[in-house]
Amino acid sequence: MQISQSPFGQVEGRDVSLFTLENDNSMVVKITNYGGIVTSMVIPDRRGQRSDVVCGFDTLDSYFSAAYQGNSPYFGCIVGRYAGRIKDGRFNVDNKTYQVATNDGPNHLHGGMVGFDKQIWDTECSQADDACELKLSLVSPDGDEGYPGTLDVSVEYHLTQENELRIRYQAQTDKATPLALTNHTYFNLNSFSDKILDHRAEIHSDRYLVPDGSNVPVGGEQRVEGTACDFNTARPIGDAFKELPKGFEHYYCFAEGSGVCAKVAVFSEQSSGRTLEVETTEPGMLFYTGFYTSDDLKREDGTQFGQFKAFCCETAKYPNGPNLKDAPASILEPGQTYDETTLFRLKW
């Protein structure tokens, strides 16, 4: 196991670093402290050929290109303060109404105009025989993007010898505030040689949140049984596209757990022999198959990204949670510690 640090450029005169985490099984994960972005994840396939399985770029400048900025796909980043959409950018906390940025049509999305994905995080590194760790930390001041409370937040990326990228989120606040953190990595297990329609998906959920016309959940739920959204038995993602031509942007609800990581999803791709398992302590996951990802986006080596070329597993609190009566733990109170974990386990 080892972790190393190298220069990755500057943002507004501040140095940005790239951290390379490697285990003894040829798994290499690269993460920058600008936005906590997972820029690369290289693993072998069943034949031992190593290649990248996530969307990202090899230079910091590419994250500021006109094509990327215009499309805003949030490749690989930490999303906060609140992942997903908040209806009309408005919520009530402690009998006070707050208005935050409406950066997605009429709604608030992924923390606003300058969310956690656009911050430079402080860093600490450590390594042992069985894992190496990159810890990112940030202080979000009271009023940041319109949110109440000074928030101390940390995100730990652990790479293990079991080929797991374990992400632990922790935070404390001095005022009640909405909080939902996630990682927005896009995966393609065939290394972008094709779209993800032939990937087999298994998602352990019996229902998803029904969005309104502006794509925000407002309280309704839909059972997946008998619908194109049912992945309780593994099947190709593309099978559902006959009924859902735009693919998936569905928030799947999980059974409430005890704070222990539970396996919630498995994805596999036959030609590469690769499998991705997802475990989380979170109450649900937004499964997104990249309908809005621009075909103009590509890695510097020419690897083509674009529509339906990768999928996201955004484990987090309910979208629009502050405005949903039964949404679990969408508000962090003073004296509480936000402590959630998501694990991505790769096999080949």
CA atoms lying within 13 Å on the CB side of residue 12: 4
221 noted as active-site residue: no
| Predicted TM-score (pTM) of this structure | 0.97
Cα–Cα distance, 231 to 204 (Å, whole number): 7
Q: What is the pLDDT of residues 156-208, one digit of tens each?
A: 999 999 999 999 999 999 999 999 999 999 999 999 999 999 999 999 999 99
- Containing 339, the helix (H) or strand (E) segment is strand 338-347
Question: What is the enclosing helix (H) or strand (E) of 71?
Answer: helix 66-71
Neighbour-count burial of 207, counting CB atoms closer than 10 A to its CB (0-12 exposed, 13-18 middle, 19+ buried): middle
Residue 22 and residue 28 in contact, taking contact as beta carbons nearer than 8 Å: yes
Provide the CATH topology of domain 2-191+284-341.
Beta-galactosidase; Chain A, domain 5 (2.70.98)
Q: Can 184 be counted among the known catalytic residues?
A: yes
pLDDT for res 260: 82
User: For 32-85, what is each residue's pLDDT tens digit?
Assistant: 999 999 999 999 999 999 999 999 999 999 999 999 999 999 999 999 999 999
Asked if 118 contacts 35 with a C-beta cutoff of 8 angstroms, the reply is yes
pLDDT category of residue 257 using cuts at 50, 70 and 90: low
Catalytically annotated residue among 145, 279, 314, 340: 314
For tokens 């999305």, what's the residue?
A: 109
Look at residue 258 and tell me whether its pLDDT is greater than 60. no
Task: Catalytic residue, from 184, 199, 250, 277: name it.
Answer: 184
Tokens 């995100």 map to which residue? Answer: 155
The span from the CA of 279 to the CA of 254, in Å, is 11
Cis, peptide link before residue 166, omega less than 30° from 0? no
Distance between CA 324 and CA 318 in Å, rounded?
Answer: 8
